[in-house]
């Protein structure tokens, strides 16, 4: 029996290098050996985009075709849409009695995200919605609806998995052993930095290279990437460790990396030449992804069919779970 993996991604935009090297590349290696459920978390995306339904709707298809373009195989992975599984919403309601408000506010992930919102919008805590504060509960439903045993996540998500485990233990202690306690599968890859040197690559930070960027866009972005500020002339010696161009040479596994590093340190390579090499290699890496994306753009009905199939399988599994849960809670009338 294969173990079950469940992970999710919010449909708020296209995939960028941060998603790919931080998370998706690991998913590609897992898809052969596990029963893999991949949730397009549209309900979760709506917790802070509830006023932008068109954006989320469009992103569901865009993101799915990006995932297919990088090689997620729908024969092996059940890609499904969260909102189409009402059992997840039901479980969320049942679990909401098993967690206190103070515990939710203390969750480091939620706490950070609220702090970020305040920093951006300068608003008081009053504008934080019930749905947003409660999203760890809904994420617990995402995981347990499919008996998720392993949850591949980045470090920032660990507190959510911990909270899920607490809710599961509480449920089982009150209603009898029913739910599986999941384990996180921590991504070994560090968070991918942005073109501007920011610790995080992100859409809202405007420092991302998207997997479907055109050659021209990639060129423009890499030409503007941050390099060692002490290197002014082409033959100045420099420190590759503070240069984003060198950083991406590393990320995309340039076979010529040692030379790039040495020549930079010795002042034998100018930044423009170094960027040109990166542009070429980056485009080589992205080209097959762009080609597949083009295919899915021309075959939207295929993307829809894949989502329908994945959602159907996910629904069957969630229905089994909700039956067990309702029996344990004695609400199986």
Give contact residues for ligand TRP (rule: CB under 6 A): 6-10, 39, 41, 44, 139, 142-143, 151, 153, 157
232 contacts 224 by C-beta, under 8 angstroms:
no
Report, in Å, the least distance between residue 109 CB and ligand TRP. 8
43 contacts 139 by C-beta, under 8 angstroms:
no
SS3 6: strand
Which residue from 119, 117, 183 is spatially nearest to 147, judged by alpha carbons?
Answer: 183
> Residue 288 CB: number of other CB atoms within 10 A?
12
78 contacts 313 by C-beta, under 8 angstroms:
yes
> 81: part of which helix (H) or strand (E)?
strand 77-81
Report, in Å, the least distance between residue 154 CB and ligand TRP. 7
133 contacts 110 by C-beta, under 8 angstroms:
yes
* Residue in the block written with tokens 């979760």: 44
> 281: part of which helix (H) or strand (E)?
helix 271-298
Cβ-based nearer residue to ligand TRP, 31 or 254: 31
Report, in Å, the least distance between residue 265 CB and ligand TRP. 37
Which residue from 94, 7, 78, 8 is spatially nearest to 47, judged by alpha carbons?
Answer: 8
Report, in Å, the least distance between residue 80 CB and ligand TRP. 11
* Residue in the block written with tokens 């506010």: 105
Cβ-based nearer residue to ligand TRP, 223 or 313: 313
Report, in Å, the least distance between residue 156 CB and ligand TRP. 8
Report, in Å, the least distance between residue 9 CB and ligand TRP. 6
Cβ-based nearer residue to ligand TRP, 10 or 249: 10
Cβ-based nearer residue to ligand TRP, 81 or 278: 81
CA 282/CA 285 separation, integer angstroms: 5
Cβ-based nearer residue to ligand TRP, 103 or 191: 191
Question: Which residues, including other chains, have CB under 8 Å from residue 315's CB and lie 6 or more apart?
Answer: 80, 84, 85, 87
Cβ-based nearer residue to ligand TRP, 111 or 234: 111
C-beta nearest to ligand TRP: residue: 8
Cβ-based nearer residue to ligand TRP, 151 or 314: 151
CA 181/CA 174 separation, integer angstroms: 15
Tally helices (H) and strands (E) across the chain.
15, 5
CA 76/CA 195 separation, integer angstroms: 34
Report, in Å, the least distance between residue 143 CB and ligand TRP. 5
Cβ-based nearer residue to ligand TRP, 163 or 227: 163
Report, in Å, the least distance between residue 327 CB and ligand TRP. 24
């Amino acid at each position: 029996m294969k173990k079950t993996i469940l992970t999710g991604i919010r449909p708020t935009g296209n995939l960028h290098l941060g998603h790919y090297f931080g998370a998706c590349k690991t998913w590609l290696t897992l898809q052969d050996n596990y029963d893999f459920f991949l949730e397009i978390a549209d309900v979760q995306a709506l917790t802070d985009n509830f006023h932008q339904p068109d954006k989320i709707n469009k992103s569901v298809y865009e993101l799915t075709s990006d995932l297919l373009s990088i090689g997620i195989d729908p024969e092996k992975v059940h890609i499904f849409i969260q909102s189409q599984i009402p059992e997840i919403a039901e479980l969320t309601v049942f679990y909401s009695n098993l967690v206190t408000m103070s515990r939710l506010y203390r969750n480091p992930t939620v706490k950070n995200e609220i702090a970020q919102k305040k920093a951006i919008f300068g608003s008081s805590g009053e504008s934080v919605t019930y749905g947003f504060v409660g999203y760890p509960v809904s994420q617990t439903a995402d995981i347990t609806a499919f008996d998720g045993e392993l949850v591949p996540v980045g470090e920032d998500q660990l507190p959510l998995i911990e909270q899920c485990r607490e809710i599961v233990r509480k449920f089982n202690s009150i209603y009898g052993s029913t739910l599986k306690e999941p384990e996180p599968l921590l991504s070994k890859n560090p968070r991918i930095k942005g073109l501007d040197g920011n610790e995080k690559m992100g859409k809202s930070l405007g420092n991302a290279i998207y997997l479907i960027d055109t050659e021209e866009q990639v060129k423009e972005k890499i030409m503007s990437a941050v390099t060692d500020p002490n290197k002014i002339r082409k033959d100045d010696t420099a420190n590759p460790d503070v240069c984003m161009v060198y950083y991406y040479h590393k990320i995309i596994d340039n076979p010529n990396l040692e030379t790039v590093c040495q020549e930079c340190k010795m002042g034998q390579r100018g930044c423009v030449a170094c960027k040109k090499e990166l542009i070429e290699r980056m485009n080589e890496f992205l080209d097959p992804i762009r080609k597949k994306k083009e295919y899915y753009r021309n075959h939207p009905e295929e993307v829809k069919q894949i989502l329908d199939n994945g959602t159907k399988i996910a629904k069957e599994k969630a229905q089994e779970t909700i039956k067990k849960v309702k029996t344990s809670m004695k609400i199986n009338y």
